[in-house]
Chains A and B, each alone.
Chain A
Amino acid sequence: MTQQMDLNQRFEEYIALDQKIEAKDWMPDAYRKTLIRQISQHAHSEIIGMQPEGNWITRAPSLKRKSILLAKVQDEAGHGLYLYSAAETLGISRDEMLDALHTGKAKYSSIFNYPTLTWADMGSIGWLVDGAAIMNQVPLCKCSYGPYARAMVRVCKEESFHQRQGFQIMLNLSQGTSEQKDMAQDALNRWWWPSLMMFGPSDASSKHSKQSMRWKIKRFSNDELRQRFVDMTVPQAELIGLTIPDSDLKWNEETGHYEFGPIDWSEFEQVVAGNGPCNRERIETRVAAHENGAWVRDAAAAYAEKVADRESRQTSAA
């Protein structure tokens, strides 16, 4: 018991000194569990997040746009892989994590439960959704768990490229035909509020925030990050002549921040609870890919075993 207390105290001191915790270091169970939950949720979000954009690869309006979008969705698969690997350092397997995703035990970012209805949604996802993700993720590059922090450095570099290409799509649409302008405004109308919800519940009602801040997994509160996102995005919308769908939005000279209207948290709760427009489809698609691929994975495993077997027989014969 005393030994346990010593370990815990040393861990807390280590964190206080801004040192990185590595995979083989001692860590409290709750810290390990929190990280597994957060990193696997993040990995799942990358994997499920491939679907709403993957939906438009075959219909991209130019070959250049098609290759940019394909590369982007491929990056997301890559992020999913690094993040699953980072979570595996904490003693959970990718299969266990995927199983939790497929059975609905694990969550992923609710934003991906909204449908992508027009090409402008590719712009809005890059601009707003990836923009919000970067706000959340840049501080994670300094998070106390080393393998997660290092994975996030690479993820963030690619995300900022995604955000720029999303904004570029919106810029082009806003300078295009009247139909294209309408498409851009419609997409902003649909993605704005869900993007603000990506930062999670307000600080007063966020159940994991406090402990995570103490452990330096989280560095800024949900509300701080949300405000930073609004302050960054509103002038960008103005620049391309689009209107943020919030009649309460106004600049506050004194605080130096934009004030914005109340968020409809009942919608957020509905989507988190599984009742969003695409929750069922996203999981069904993921489960179908996994199940349809079972015979392929089995064959690869059987073949690898045969090869190993042949090699060991050759070695023993020699």
Chain B
Amino acid sequence: MAGREYEWILRFGDDALVLAQRLSEWCSHGPAIEEDIALSNIALDLLGQARALLTLAGRREGQGRDEDALAYFRTDREYSNALLVELPNGHFGDTIVKQMLFDQFAVLRYEALANQCVDEELAAIASKALKEVRYHAAHSTQWVVRLGDGTKESHLRVQESLNTLWPYTAELFEDDAVSKACADAEVMPLNASFKEPWSTQLQNILNEAKLLNPESTEFHTGGRTGRHTEHLKSMLAEMQVLPRTYPLAEW
């Protein structure tokens, strides 16, 4: 049972860590200084969530691994984040659409964890994170509306971003033995239960942004069991370079 607990907490932590790493790549490349600050701020929040979650996962695992052991000394095959968050940043519209798709999901997931989870430590992390991801969702959603209903060029660009990212959304709502065990333990309902509120919210946003719901039926999955896109390995190679080059060093 403890093994499963470690696994579901790790999934939440990996989602936050990988997205934080991607967002931090934006630093000094944003479209305006205000956005550089906003994206770094969001990355910092996500990194804070990841640190709390990985620390808790390590404790529940009981093998003496701390946040850094889990972040720096697992391979891509051991990472369990959803594929959506590991995708390269692309242009600002790609990043913001990806962020909105994930943020709206994260709000629902943290609401459930904060309100229903019997694991008090996890619930406490979720309550703090919930306040943050609500702000992230407001930020990304406002930008999706601005870009969707901005100029002709911005509209075309973000519609394209949405079409490209859409096939990575279904994975968020999949269930397997780990998420079922998590639901049985009264930690969080099944991922599938978030699908309907997420879709309703998304439809409202797309209507306001004058964007069309993609019709693609092509879907990608595998992240939760360590079968990732080609992008994660290079991202981790960069992220992990120092601790792996100098394994005896402390920083």
| A interface, CB within 8 angstroms of B | 47, 50-51, 54, 57-67, 70-71, 73-74, 77-78, 80-81, 84, 119, 169, 172-173, 176-177, 179-180, 285-286, 288-289, 292-300, 302-303, 306
Say whether B28 contacts A74, CB under 8 Å: no
Say whether A179 contacts B68, CB under 8 Å: no
B8-32 contacts to A (CB < 8 Å): 17, 21, 24-25, 27-32
Say whether A59 contacts B48, CB under 8 Å: no
- Interface size, B (range): 35 or more
Q: Which residue of B lies closest to A286 (CB)?
A: B28
User: What CA separation (Å) do A81 and B32 show in the bound complex?
Assistant: 10
> Contacts A62-B68, A300-B150, A303-B145: A180 and B44 contacting too (C-beta < 8 A)?
no
Q: Which residue of A lies closest to B158 (CB)?
A: A299
Binding stretch for chain A, among B98-106, B169-177, B225-233, B234-242: B234-242
Selected contact of B151 from candidates A73, A77, A299, CB within 8 Å:
A299
Say whether A81 contacts B68, CB under 8 Å: no
Say whether A295 contacts B154, CB under 8 Å: yes
Say whether B243 contacts A295, CB under 8 Å: no
B91-149 contacts to A (CB < 8 Å): 91-93, 145-147, 149
Q: Does B185 contact A (CB under 8 A)?
A: no
B-chain residues with CB within 8 Å of residue A299 when the two chains form the complex: 146-147, 150-151, 153-154
> Contacts A70-B44, A77-B40, A299-B146: A61 and B242 contacting too (C-beta < 8 A)?
yes
Say whether B241 contacts A67, CB under 8 Å: no
| B interface, CB within 8 angstroms of A | 17, 21, 24-25, 27-37, 40-41, 43-44, 47-48, 50-51, 54, 67-68, 71-72, 91-93, 145-147, 149-151, 153-154, 157, 238-239, 241-243, 246, 248-251
Q: Is the interface of B mostly helix, strand, loop or mixed?
A: helix
User: What CA separation (Å) do A288 and B51 show in the bound complex?
Assistant: 33
> Contacts A285-B29, A297-B32: A180 and B149 contacting too (C-beta < 8 A)?
no
User: What CA separation (Å) do A23 and B187 show in the bound complex?
Assistant: 58
A-chain residues with CB within 8 Å of residue B47 when the two chains form the complex: 63, 66-67, 70
> Contacts A63-B67, A177-B246: A296 and B36 contacting too (C-beta < 8 A)?
no
Q: Which residue of A lies closest to B43 (CB)?
A: A70
User: What CA separation (Å) do A77 and B39 show in the bound complex?
Assistant: 11
Say whether A74 contacts B251, CB under 8 Å: no
Selected contact of B31 from candidates A47, A297, A306, CB within 8 Å:
A297
Known A70-B24, A70-B40; further 11 A-B contacts with Cβ < 8 A: A54-B27, A58-B239, A61-B243, A63-B54, A63-B67, A63-B68, A67-B51, A70-B43, A73-B28, A180-B246, A285-B28
User: What CA separation (Å) do A70 and B243 show in the bound complex?
Assistant: 18
A-chain residues with CB within 8 Å of residue B249 when the two chains form the complex: 61, 176-177, 179-180
User: What CA separation (Å) do A169 and B149 show in the bound complex?
Assistant: 46
Say whether A67 contacts B250, CB under 8 Å: no
> Contacts A70-B44, A285-B29: A77 and B24 contacting too (C-beta < 8 A)?
no
A-chain residues with CB within 8 Å of residue B28 when the two chains form the complex: 47, 50-51, 54, 73, 77, 285-286, 289
B-chain residues with CB within 8 Å of residue A67 when the two chains form the complex: 44, 47-48, 51
Say whether B149 contacts A303, CB under 8 Å: yes
> Contacts A66-B47, A67-B48, A74-B44: A119 and B31 contacting too (C-beta < 8 A)?
no
State how many angstroms separate the Cβ of A197 from the closest Cβ of chain B.
Answer: 23
Selected contact of A293 from candidates B32, B146, B239, CB within 8 Å:
B32
State how many angstroms separate the Cβ of A292 from the closest Cβ of chain B.
Answer: 7
> Contacts A61-B251, A63-B71, A70-B24: A47 and B33 contacting too (C-beta < 8 A)?
yes
State how many angstroms separate the Cβ of B26 from the closest Cβ of chain A.
Answer: 9
Say whether B250 contacts A176, CB under 8 Å: yes
User: What CA separation (Å) do A169 and B242 show in the bound complex?
Assistant: 14
